[in-house]
């Protein structure tokens, strides 16, 4: 066993090169065994095992800087950089993160979680090195579709212009989470298929190395001409990069040779490697999308351990959208590399001509939707709450300023669990409610979600629905879809002592809290806000009548729904005691939704406690 002796890259370098493929096999088995227990991003990490070994064998981390894009490719990196003994705590509360974090290891050079940032970060690190006259190598590893992101292309544009030496490794596995999309993906795929070019280029390189005098000059010109008339790396060469590849990303010897060559080249280098997502594990190779990110599973058969119960919010959204699209041919579905995660795959299968996966390009997704909307269509942009943050400017300028009828379906809103601070969707109520013309809704359960989606489709302006990760409450779904009056809340329980006003996922916790308070002779009303914007005037009246309110939301307290209610109370000159329960002013760590909700007081018991304190 070689892996158990490796606690740092220095230990790795002690192995003979011929032993590295054996290490790769051990590393894959270790990954499968551990991730089957913790859950996580398996397929992406399996695809970069050989690359990770080659990188840490060839470079001197942390002196040399290796930056991983997205981060779900970085499990092998974590294992080889001193975290093998803690890897069983992956994504568990108090354990190691599922993504690189600068405060977790000196080998994690740049924290990530959202895609397409590694080239920009690497370029910044390389330029800082040059300015400070230091000497070390900088390597950016981008893959899993992150090259489809606009920021990656912006960085490539500047990197070629600046000319600072660094190595960009394009891990080309033809996948993001689902299959890769876009012209750039097709271009790199064509590169991979051009075996004739590779063979001819290799022959010419051999001739150049052996030639001298006039013959050397002729062959150099021939090589240059080959690039001009159809070399597959021509695009990157024209952008200022020295192109190497394509290289088999599962051949350690070829990787080491290519990396050593790249180190010798002045200026930016693009090393194009071809890998298979999920490599070395039959089930993930056959279904890389399923094994991209998953919960605990049986390693022997690849099946999930946790049995599915009630329908998830995602499924209800997907089914309802298809149902509405059956009656409205103007509905168009848009997602940013998440057709399965958002549930839009169902829409895509039934209405392929009205579905668009734009790749990891949220900014483009929103403005593309604006173009569709201004032309009379009804776009539905389905995106995780945390990823919509990347398109804030487009929401403001291209959608809300023009008051265009676009529906934003925000999945994974609130605390999402083990993926941690880069993925929690706890800012959307804050950043959306501040934008003029935007309507913001949050359903208390899966049945209300379907009615809200119907409301959103029929509304003639920008409107957002945010709903949590996971299963609903098992509430039966109404057969007939109905509109909800814009800005109208729902009083679930009347009460005279105080009112608990809850948003979305916190409504049933609040109702349970009211029942517990009732046993202690405290009469609490419960209101399902439904709309974060606009705030229902009826809520203000109930607060005025009872004299006190506890406002509960799975969103940042600063600037959230509670802040909106306080603003309205101040405007109406209503004097009342108000307590806010929500996410504190900090980035929330990773851990299960249950643990995090308990830790931050999003529970019936804490609502009871705060209600009693309010009345003291």
Q: Where are the domains of the chain?
A: 3-179+241-286, 313-466, 490-615
Please state which of the ranges 190-204, 452-466, 564-578 shows the lowest mean pLDDT.
190-204
Percent of the chain at pLDDT above 70? 90
Task: Say which DSSP state 396 is in.
Answer: I
- Tell me the pLDDT band of 218, cut-offs 50, 70 and 90: low
Please state which of the ranges 221-230, 263-272, 403-412 shows the lowest mean pLDDT.
221-230
Question: For position 184, what pLDDT does the model report?
Answer: 53
Question: For position 428, what pLDDT does the model report?
Answer: 97
Q: Which two tokens stand for residue 32?
A: 């499968």
Question: For position 228, what pLDDT does the model report?
Answer: 45
Question: For position 215, what pLDDT does the model report?
Answer: 62
Mean pLDDT in the chain?
90
List 50, 362, 418, 553, catalytic entry: 362
Neighbours of 173 (CB within 10 A): 23
Q: Which is higher by pLDDT, 308 or 362?
A: 362
Question: For position 72, what pLDDT does the model report?
Answer: 81
- Tell me the pLDDT band of 202, cut-offs 50, 70 and 90: low
Q: Which two tokens stand for residue 582?
A: 């929500």
* Contact predicate 334/379, CB 8 Å: yes
Q: Is 222 a residue whose pLDDT tops 70?
A: no
Domains 313-466 and 490-615 alike in fold: yes
Sheet holding 531-533, edge to edge: 355-357, 331-335, 378-384, 407-411, 463-466, 439-441, 531-533
User: Which pTM value belongs to this model?
Assistant: 0.87
- Tell me the pLDDT band of 286, cut-offs 50, 70 and 90: confident
- Please write the tens of the pLDDT for every residue from 267-283: 999 999 999 888 877 77
Q: Is 178 a residue whose pLDDT tops 50?
A: no
List 346, 354, 390, 530, catalytic entry: 390
Instruction: Mark whether 604 is an active-site residue.
Output: no
Sign of CA dihedral 515, 520, 525, 530: negative
- Please write the tens of the pLDDT for every residue from 380-391: 999 999 999 999
Q: In the CATH scheme, what is the code of domain 490-615? A: 3.40.50.920
Pairing relationship of beta strands 490-493 and 524-528 according to DSSP bridges: antiparallel
CATH topology of domain 3-179+241-286: Rossmann fold (3.40.50)
Q: In the CATH scheme, what is the code of domain 313-466? A: 3.40.50.970
Three-class SS state of 549? strand
- Tell me the pLDDT band of 214, cut-offs 50, 70 and 90: low
List 91, 101, 277, 469, catalytic entry: 277
Residue with tokens 């705590």: 89
- Tell me the pLDDT band of 493, cut-offs 50, 70 and 90: very high
Rounded mean pLDDT, 10-29:
94
Question: For position 196, what pLDDT does the model report?
Answer: 47
Q: Which two tokens stand for residue 303?
A: 């099946």
Instruction: Mark whether 390 is an active-site residue.
Output: yes
């Amino acid at each position: 066993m070689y892996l158990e002796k490796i606690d740092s890259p220095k230990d790795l370098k002690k192995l003979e090169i011929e032993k590295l493929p054996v290490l790769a096999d051990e590393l894959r088995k270790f990954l499968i065994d551990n991730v089957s227990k913790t859950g996580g991003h398996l397929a992406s990490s399996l695809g970069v095992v050989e690359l990770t070994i080659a990188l840490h064998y060839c470079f001197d981390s942390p002196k040399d800087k290796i930056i991983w894009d997205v981060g779900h490719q970085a499990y092998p990196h974590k294992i080889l950089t001193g975290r093998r003994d803690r890897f069983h705590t992956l994504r568990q509360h108090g354990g190691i993160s599922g993504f690189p974090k600068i405060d977790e290891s000196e080998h994690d050079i740049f924290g990530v979680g959202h895609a397409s940032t590694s080239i920009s970060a690497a370029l910044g690190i390389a330029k800082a090195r040059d300015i400070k006259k230091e000497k070390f190598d900088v390597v950016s590893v981008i893959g899993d579709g992150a090259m489809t992101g606009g920021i990656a292309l912006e960085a490539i544009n500047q990197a070629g212009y600046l000319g600072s030496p660094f190595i960009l490794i394009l891990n080309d596995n033809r996948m993001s989470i689902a299959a890769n999309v876009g012209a750039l993906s097709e271009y790199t795929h064509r590169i991979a298929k051009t075996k004739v070019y590779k063979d001819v280029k290799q022959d010419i390189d051999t001739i150049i190395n052996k030639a001298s005098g006039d013959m050397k000059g002729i062959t150099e010109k021939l090589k240059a001409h080959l690039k001009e008339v159809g070399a597959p790396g021509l695009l990157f060469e024209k952008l200022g990069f020295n192109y190497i590849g394509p290289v088999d990303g599962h051949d350690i010897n070829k990787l080491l040779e290519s990396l050593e060559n790249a180190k010798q080249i002045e200026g930016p280098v693009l090393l194009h490697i071809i890998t298979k997502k999920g490599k070395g594990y039959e089930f993930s190779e056959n279904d890389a999308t399923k094994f991209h990110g998953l919960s605990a599973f049986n390693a022997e058969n690849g099946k999930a351990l946790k049995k599915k119960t009630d329908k998830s919010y995602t499924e209800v959204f997907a089914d309802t959208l298809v149902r509405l699209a059956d009656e409205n041919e103007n509905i168009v579905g848009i997602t940013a590399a998440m057709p399965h995660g958002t549930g839009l795959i169902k829409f895509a299968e039934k209405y392929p001509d009205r579905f668009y996966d734009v790749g990891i390009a949220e900014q483009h997704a929103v403005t593309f939707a604006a173009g569709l909307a201004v032309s009379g269509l009804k776009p539905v942009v389905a995106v995780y709450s945390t990823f919509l943050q990347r398109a804030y400017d487009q929401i403001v300028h291209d959608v809300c300023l023009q008051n265009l009828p676009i529906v934003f379906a925000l999945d994974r809103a609130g605390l999402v669990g083990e993926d941690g601070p880069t993925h929690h969707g706890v800012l959307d109520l804050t950043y959306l409610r501040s934008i003029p013309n935007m309507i913001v809704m949050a359903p208390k359960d899966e049945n209300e979600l379907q009615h809200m989606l119907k409301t959103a489709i029929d509304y003639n302006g920008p409107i957002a629905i945010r709903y949590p990760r996971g299963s609903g409450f098992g509430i039966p779904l109404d057969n007939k879809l109905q509109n909800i009056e814009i800005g109208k809340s729902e009083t679930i329980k009347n009460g005279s002592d105080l009112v608990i006003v809850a948003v979305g996922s916190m409504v049933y916790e609040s109702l349970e809290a009211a029942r517990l308070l009732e046993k202690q002779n405290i009469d609490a009303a419960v209101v399902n806000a439904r709309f974060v914007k606009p705030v229902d005037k009826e809520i203000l009246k109930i607060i005025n009548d009872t004299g006190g309110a506890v406002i509960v939301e799975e969103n940042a307290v600063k600037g959230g729904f509670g802040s909106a209610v306080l603003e309205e109370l101040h405007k109406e000159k209503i004097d009342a005691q108000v307590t806010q329960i929500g996410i504190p002013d900090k980035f929330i760590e990773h851990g299960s939704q249950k643990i995090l909700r308990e830790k931050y007081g999003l529970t019936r018991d804490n609502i009871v406690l705060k209600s009693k304190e309010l009345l003291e």
